[in-house]
Structure 1
Amino acid sequence: MLTTQFLPGSPCWVDLGSSDLEASASFYSGLFGWRFEPAMEGYGLWQIGGDTVAAVGSVMEEGTGPAWMIYFQTLDCDETVKAAELAAGTVRSRPFDIEGQGRMAQLTDPAGADFALWQPGGTRGLDLVNAPGSLAWAELYTPDLDDARAFYRSVFGWRFTDMDMGDFTYPVAYPADGDGELSMAGLARLESGGPAHWGPYFEVPDCDTVVAMCQELGGTARGPVETVPRVGRMAFLSDPHGARFAVITSTT
């Protein structure tokens, strides 16, 4: 499970690149009960009870559309970028400082999945995870699971175990440091031929209710709600501008 301990290599931040900040703020506030708080021009925080659970900014990269971005913690952004390049990753944005907050970079893995790095300064990461309305899991959709394992092991030192799902095994990632309770991400084989990508899961109290609300607010359900034994009830959604995400009511 995710934790705000934010060990190196673990998800520590998530933000949405939006083509319409006002519309995105309205959609996600209605869906999750988030409160939008402007942070700087073109960028704001989503909060629950004063705790930051996600952020949103204007789409800045040419040729990209609305999408969620997952940031992974690093103690040295520049060295992690070098490791990603050596492992055949692509640097979309070289490391740069956000004054007083931290240092970041944006990368793409060899299969084409975008992700980002965060070296903490004044901001360590999200204030809340796993609670309703907050980030609960990260999942990589990629055509070759073995290649993905090798890349992220080289970049972050991740450890992997295979979860038996009956008809298939699901690789679960753990940070290099920490115990076996700190699983943080999973790898899913991309069968459709679409682009490789990282996707966030947000915890919700009632998956079915949130799926219905998403559609009422102009979003899309990208498949039926499913119950996965020992995991929870989940659904894959898109917001009105096409950004993909998932919701889950975890098994307790």
Structure 2
Amino acid sequence: MAENRASVYAEGVPCWVDAQLPDVEAGKRFYGQLFGWTFEDWFGSFVRALKDGEPVAALVRKMDGRLPTVWTVYFATPDARALVRRIQEAGGQVVQSPVPAGELGVTALVTDAEGAVFALWQPQEHPGFGKRHEPGTFAWAELYTRDTEAANDFYGDLFQEALFGRDAEPDFGRAPVSDVFAAEMPPHFLVHFAVEDMAGVLEDVIRLGGRVQVPPFGTSYGTVAVVQDNQGASFALLQR
């Protein structure tokens, strides 16, 4: 079992990520070379990415070309339907109501009160990340929002234990959109993957057909660069 494996994630802790892509095979080539991931067929059209044999992410083909090409972060919950109700009461919206993913778990897609999209995961056979906080694996999710105080209230009420509990390790934070992006950029979550050599990985992103959106900058949780893969999905690199 991997050192960082967590079989149970507290409600409100990021526990999984996936990328909706037009071409999954191209995604496998890009991320396989960038992060050293291997892949296996999984549930439906999902392909599971592995790092050193442990699950770290999934890729899935977009069923509708009008949908965005994006990375999505999943927050753990023991009861997706109850959490969806609380999200609606707090001013969020439901994009996809809770549905089973076979025997793996139950998933839902929602937005916060400002429209930032995120997913929920109620685990059954699939608890979430088998490895995180290591190079080539999930390290952080940052919410870029227009109203940080409103975000504090929304997520603080939803995920009190994850944010403020005794053993809290939320793995996510928030910042104003305008700190990094153009002011007109809509609120959104940005998935971060850990790296050891920022300059080298940025060179690999470009070599593999991606591009650098925002060059490296300092944050309270490390040095970050925002990039796009070879199909336009944005994500961040994080060097602690």
Closer/same/farther in 2, CA of residues 3 and 157 from structure 1, 3 Å limit: farther
Task: Determine if the alignment matches structure 1 residue 233 to structure 2 residue 223.
Answer: yes
Give the aligned partner of residue 175 of structure 1: 163
Query: Structure 1 residue 40: deviation in Å?
Result: 3.3
AA partner of residue 155 (structure 2): Y
**Equivalents in 1 of 2:173, 2:205: separation in Å?**
24
- Picking from 168, 172, 196, the partner of 1:185 is 172
Matches within 5 A, 1:102-251: 102-157=105-160, 174-179=162-167, 182-191=169-178, 192=182, 193-228=184-219, 231-250=221-240
Task: Determine if the alignment matches structure 1 residue 6 to structure 2 residue 9.
Answer: yes
Partner-residue secondary structure (3-state), 1:222: strand
RMSD: 1.8
**Equivalents in 1 of 2:56, 2:155: separation in Å?**
25
Matches within 5 A, 1:22-41: 22-41=25-44
Structure 1, unmatched stretches of 5+, are: 159-173
AA partner of residue 227 (structure 2): L
Partner-residue secondary structure (3-state), 1:211: helix
AA partner of residue 14 (structure 2): P
AA partner of residue 57 (structure 1): V
**Equivalents in 2 of 1:9, 1:175: separation in Å?**
8
**4+ residue stretches of structure 1 with deviation over 3 A?**
60-63, 174-178
**Equivalents in 1 of 2:170, 2:42: separation in Å?**
31
TM-score, reference length from structure 2: 0.91
AA partner of residue 100 (structure 2): D
Query: Structure 1 residue 36: deviation in Å?
Result: 1.4
Query: Once the two structures are superposed, what CA deviation does each residue of 1:114-161 show, in whole Å capped at 9, x if it has no partner?
Result: 100001111111100001110011100111101111111232226xxx
Partner-residue secondary structure (3-state), 1:75: coil
Query: Structure 1 residue 30: deviation in Å?
Result: 1.1
Closer/same/farther in 2, CA of residues 157 and 60 from structure 1, 3 Å limit: farther
Structure 2, unmatched stretches of 5+, are: none
**Equivalents in 1 of 2:58, 2:172: separation in Å?**
20
Task: Determine if the alignment matches structure 1 residue 80 to structure 2 residue 83.
Answer: yes
Aligned length: 232
